[in-house]
Each structure stands twice: as structure tokens, then as C-alpha cells.
Amino acid sequence: MGRRQSFADLTYGLLIGGLAILAVTIIVAPVIIVLMTSFTEGQVLKFPPKGFSLGWYEQLFDPVKSRQIHKTAGNSLQIAAFSTLFGVVLATARSSRASPTASSCRRWCCPASPSASPPWCTSACSASGRRSS
């Protein structure tokens, strides 16, 4: 037979469940509103939309009309790829047994002025107890 849950267990479960539903609603509701607004047929985005149109998406995928946004998205993707690669390299170096010494870490992170290490370099180099400055 199953154990009977106490009142405190039930209220805790309801409270956590309610907070989870609230958090998901707070995160998802704006996305739904933006998506609904993007289908408006007017020249200005309004909520609630007056009609249904794919005009905004037509302009988005037209290479001539949205050249600037395509260039910006490309820049963002390049920065994201570089940041990911940089993080993987740092994490791999940190997790290997041949962990870099504090002085080599300083030279690599801040070659111009080793005494002025940026915070991310300090945390990356001192995670094993070594100080980078």
C-alpha cells in the first residue's frame, strides 16, 4: 500500500506546481503575443492584429528588403560560434590534467598587460586554486 501524503507535502507540491506554471506562463506568453502580432496586415505592428497577413515574413525573407537584418543576424551567428568555440577551448584546457599554470594563463588571457587581468581570465585561471594576477 502507498504511503499517505501529509497536508504539508500536498501544499508544497501545489505551491511548486503553481510556481512552475506561473514561470512558464511568464516566459511563453510574450512569445505568443509577438508571434500573433507578426501576422497583422497593417504597416504598423498592433496587438491584437486586425487581419491576417504574411507580409512581414515576406519582407523578412526578401534579400533586397531585409539586407541589413540578414547581415546583423550573420554577425550574431559568427559571434555566437566564436564564443562557443572559445568556451569549449577554455573548458577543455581546464578539464585536462595538463592544466595551464597561472603565468601561462596570464600571458594567454591578457598578453598586453599581465598585471591587469580581466575578471573572466582570473576566474578561468584560478578555478584550480591558482591566482592569475
Q: What is the pLDDT of residue 92?
A: 87
pLDDT at 99: 52
Cis-peptide, bond into residue 118, ω within 30° of zero: no
The pLDDT score that the predictor gives to residue 109 is: 60
Q: ∠ CA(96), CA(98), CA(101), 5° rounding?
A: 115
What pLDDT shows up at residue 133? 47
| CB-CB neighbours of 85 under 10 Å | 10
- Quote the pTM value: 0.45
Q: How far apart are CA 126 and CA 105, in angstroms?
A: 9
Below-70 pLDDT ranges, the chain: 1-2, 97-133
C-alpha cell of 21?
506554471
- Cα 133 to chain centroid distance, Å, stands at 30
pLDDT value of residue 57:
85
For residues 51 and 67, give the distance between their C-alpha atoms in angstroms, rounded to a whole number: 27
Print the SS3 string covering 106-120.
HHHHCCCCCCCCCHH
